[in-house]
Amino acid sequence: MKRLFASFVLVLSISFLMAQNTTSVEPQTSWKNVKVVYEASEVANLQQGETLSSTINTSLNFGTRAKFRENCIEELKKEAAEKGYTVILINEEASSEKRFNKRGFEITLVGKGYRS
């Protein structure tokens, strides 16, 4: 019985140590590393990609406009990372923010992806 218990503890400790030593490697274009810019001069030396857009609608206002905009930017960054872009240039003229039904927001952000 003691040998069985010792073997069990040994197997658990080895698996625990192996789990601690493994690190998760994120792709080089993780959505958290995608930079959002608003000036065209900041992307002058980068390779231009396609137009990206993201829209968030909410009929109940449980947050602020800034929070919804932040969520929209996060979705845009995830889309850009999937396509391999490292920078997004936001087009403020094509983007829109609307309030409707006294409680809801609709935020649309339009940008262009760029690679280095």
CATH number of the domain encompassing residue 98: 3.30.110.70
| 45 within domain boundaries | yes
Do 69 and 97 meet the contact criterion of CB atoms below 8 Å apart? yes
| 101 within domain boundaries | yes
Question: For residues 59 and 36, what is the distance between their CA atoms, to the nearest angstrom?
Answer: 27
Structure tokens at 2: 């003691």
Quote the pLDDT of residue 19.
Answer: 57
| 108 within domain boundaries | yes
| 33 within domain boundaries | yes
Boundaries of domain holding 107: 27-115
Quote the pLDDT of residue 114.
Answer: 95
| pTM for the full predicted model | 0.69
Coil, helix or strand for 28?
coil
Residue among 94, 95, 89 nearest 44 (CA): 89
Question: For residues 77 and 33, what is the distance between their CA atoms, to the nearest angstrom?
Answer: 9
| 21 within domain boundaries | no
Q: Across the strands, what pairs with 54?
A: 109
Mean pLDDT of 67-82: 91
Structural domains of the chain, count: 1
